[in-house]
Structure 1
Amino acid sequence: MKLIVETLIQETLQKEKKNLFSFLTGAGISSESGLPTYRGNDGIWIKGTKYHQPEEFGTFRYFSQNQEEVWQYNLFWKKLIEEAQPNTGHFAIAEIEKILKNQFQLITQNVDGLHHRAGSQKIFEIHGNKQSVRCSSGCNGVLPMPSELKSKELTEDLTEKDLDLLRCQDCGDWLRPNTLWFDESYNEKLYFLNSTLRAAKKTGILFIIGTSGATTLPQIIAEKVLQYGGYLVEINTEENSYFFERFSRTKKYMLIREKASDGLIKIKEMIEKYT
């Protein structure tokens, strides 16, 4: 299998069209940095939200009725992210970008910013970023998380100062995390919907790393890559993702059974060999 992938990399590097190397990452790559995944046995949706179902808790509807509880959860996430460091998988992707330059695109479902910290530049964050906020009434654009806002333990209450900082300076309504919730839709302005689909059309190989494929845009991206003649290479230790279930019978899907960091280091070495 790895020999086939290496040959495919060599051929894609030589193409003039549909020669983009795109990387689609999910929570599995950041789990190696100590961040919990969302849907696994130890996932943050299971352990971090008073046992709410994700589709209940992770919604704008729930936030609009329980702002303090949702912000307690997000400031706990802020603590987890601050304590995490990019791992060898993140750094391998950043190094691949330096090698490939204009032939590279990173699409991530992760909201932790670890790709940025590892040095990646060409990133579509299709689920937003927890280091930024915006007004829940939509009166302004995306803003950095207030620097004075401190991270919290999960059971730690918000202070009066926290509540002050979490209000929009323009209209006084609540600020919200700049992330996509379950009752919201992908769009171009915040989540790069059109940009990612344009990239998919130009992609020769889509590397899928650390994602179960449970959300719609990653599924559509993979479909689009295949539709326009590209290949899917998934790095996963198990045969349990949407992508394996949906595409494993097609000749243009390949599975590398490795953990994210090990697989990405090998992909980087293959790309270096032919550039």
Structure 2
Amino acid sequence: MQQLEDIIQYVSTKNKRNLFTFLTGAGLSSESGIPTYRGIDGIWVKGTKFHKPEEFGTFKYFKEHPEEVWQYSLFRKKMFQNAKPNESHYELVEIENILKDRFHLITQNIDNLHRQSGTERIFEIHGNNREIKCSNGCKEIVNLPEEIKGKEIDEDLTEREIELLKCQSCGSWMRPNILWFDEYYDEKTNKKFSSLKIAKNSGILFILGTSGATNLPIAIAETTLKYGGTIVDINIEDNQFTALIKDKKNKIIIRKTSTEALKMIKEMIKIYN
């Protein structure tokens, strides 16, 4: 991979636009046992109802069925709590330790595994499952009360949990601090402008385990390209990022697992940093 080594060497010597940025998605967490959102496990079962993610994972559905969505969210919370970071997460921590403030991680994952593994320079553009906010628009984002634990899929909310999941200011339901399918990216929850600024200053953007099915990740890649950075598409198969970069010169496509690719990248970065 001489082309990759050359661009890593080049970015390492630049004073401006010298960030090494990693954009990760659900594919990175699949080795930890967390199903990808749109995968075969991506049709949610609740009682006898079947939902497509695009129907269930919406603010509109939450407003109509808040308890059902919270039951599912707490089922996912339990799944996340039982998962452990995998080798890819730890490789990224090692790369961050080499690059320090020239490293940034932008993730679509809400599962906290990057934080759990020790990554510090992290932007969670789809929110996270640690926090909640008022569904009626009261501004404060707060931590999910510790008293509220993960649940089995068919386990109902208790009266106490319902009480804790109501806004103290207006009495409306609190909601997970995540991005649903019918919502727009913003800065407060989704770090929209921060992540685009990072993309602008990235000499190289590594894309791992995401297909580019939502628009901010694509905009991040477009911004890096616009300002002369190189895109490295690391996925098992072609995806929407592949289509974006197919006619571009400053691109590298790697068809390996995330862990294999990150080990190789780490060794190259060590040489020049």
Same fold (TM over 0.5): yes
SS in 1 for 2:211: coil
Give the distance between the partners of 2:90 and 2:72, measured in 1 at CA.
Answer: 28
1:16 and 2:15 matched = yes
Match of 1:264 among 255, 262, 265: 262
Give the distance between the partners of 1:47 and 1:62, measured in 2 at CA.
Answer: 13
Structure 1 residues not aligned, in runs of 5+: none
RMSD of Structure 2 on Structure 1 (CA): 1.3
Query: Is the contact made by 1:25 and 1:210 (CA closer than 8 Å) also made in structure 2?
Result: yes
SS in 1 for 2:205: strand
In structure 2, the partner of 1:186 is: 185
Give the distance between the partners of 2:149 and 2:194, measured in 1 at CA.
Answer: 34
TM-score (norm 2): 0.96
In structure 2, the partner of 1:212 is: 211
Give the distance between the partners of 1:213 and 1:172, measured in 2 at CA.
Answer: 37
In structure 2, the partner of 1:107 is: 106
Deviations 1:127-160 (A, max 9, x none): 1001111111222411111101011111111121
Deviation at 1:102, TM superposition (A): 1.8
Deviation at 1:114, TM superposition (A): 0.6
Deviation at 1:47, TM superposition (A): 4.1
Query: Is the contact made by 1:78 and 1:151 (CA closer than 8 Å) also made in structure 2?
Result: yes
TM-score (norm 1): 0.95
Deviations 1:184-224 (A, max 9, x none): 11111221111111111111000000001000000011011
Give the letter for the 1:41 counterpart. Answer: I
Give the share of equivalent positions with the same residue, in percent.
Answer: 54
Q: Within 5 A, what are the aligned runs for 1:157-176?
A: 157-176=156-175
Match of 1:247 among 245, 248, 252: 245
Give the distance between the partners of 1:212 and 1:140, measured in 2 at CA.
Answer: 32
Distance 1:224 1:111, change over 3 A: same
Give the distance between the partners of 1:48 and 1:19, measured in 2 at CA.
Answer: 45
Query: Is the contact made by 1:48 and 1:73 (CA closer than 8 Å) also made in structure 2?
Result: no
Give the distance between the partners of 2:88 and 2:110, measured in 1 at CA.
Answer: 16
Give the distance between the partners of 1:242 and 1:213, measured in 2 at CA.
Answer: 5
Q: Within 5 A, what are the aligned runs for 1:116-127?
A: 116-127=115-126
SS in 1 for 2:32: coil
